[in-house]
Structure 1
Amino acid sequence: MNLTGFINDEYQGYTSHSKSMTSLSSRDRAISVKTLICFLQTLIGQKTWIELKNDFILVGTVKQVDACMNIELSEVLVKKPVNLVNSDYNQSNLDYMFVKGTRIRYVSVPDEIDVIENINQGIENIRSHHSQRVNSTRRVPKAVNKDNSVPNSN
């Protein structure tokens, strides 16, 4: 069995795209702000590596992160451990991979990333998105006449 087949069997199809994660629900935004997931969301577009609980190592560009820490990667180098004592790995390349958050052991942060600044930026992005959404959904009050009656729109 080749490496891609092994990954698909290991993750029971999680390498396929399950749903769009482009917009966060209010619940997801609340979770992201209260955890360090808001920091992981600032890594979108960055090349990083992820160690999985089964000792696989994924090196790729972060495309999306949701509130459950599910991560979408592109241009992925997958390293499957052959011998952990000697650090031997079989390698394979994939164009795209979806990684379930519960399978992640460790996410490496690139050296050029300022962690504190990115956490603050992530929180601000989520809060500003929320305030824009609240302001755009507020109802505009109807115009009223001096006698508190609503004018005809005819």
Structure 2
Amino acid sequence: MKLDSIDRRILEVLQKQGRITNAELSERINLSPSACHRRVQHLEAEGYIRDYVALLDPRKVGRQTTVFVEITLSGQTDEVLDAFEKAVTRIPDVLECHLMAGTADYMLKVVAHDTEDFAQIHRRHLARLPGVAQMQSNFALRTVFKTTALPV
């Protein structure tokens, strides 16, 4: 499926206002409600729209500390990579895990209540991950800009 300009406008609006009604969406993109609904269903069926979620304010839920953790593994075999990836997905404080090109093998985005909480997460979970040879943690002082909207 190739996206046309209407599909792109639908995706742009839904990324910023996921709870918008079909009537409001159809008005915003200048399309009839039935045609708009069919397009959204098609975008969902084709996998362009993966999920609908509520984005929480980290401060309101007490997770105001963001830490980026660079992980270097002891090896690059499939077994080492698979064991690490399987284990890291079980840590609820890890929001993202990326396999990297560069000096680190993985980059994690971790949320914590504060530095003491991160120390506990590090001790209880991160330090016990299989295959880890080295870790470096970088604390975010302030979030300047953050979005979940992809350019379409």
Q: Structure 1 or 2: larger helix share?
A: 2
The structure with the largest alpha-carbon Rg is: 1
How does the TM-score come out when normalised to structure 2?
A: 0.22
Q: Structure 1 or 2: larger strand share?
A: 1
How does the TM-score come out when normalised to structure 1?
A: 0.22
- Identify which of structures 1 and 2 has the higher relative contact order when contacts are C-alpha pairs closer than 8 Å and 6+ apart: 2
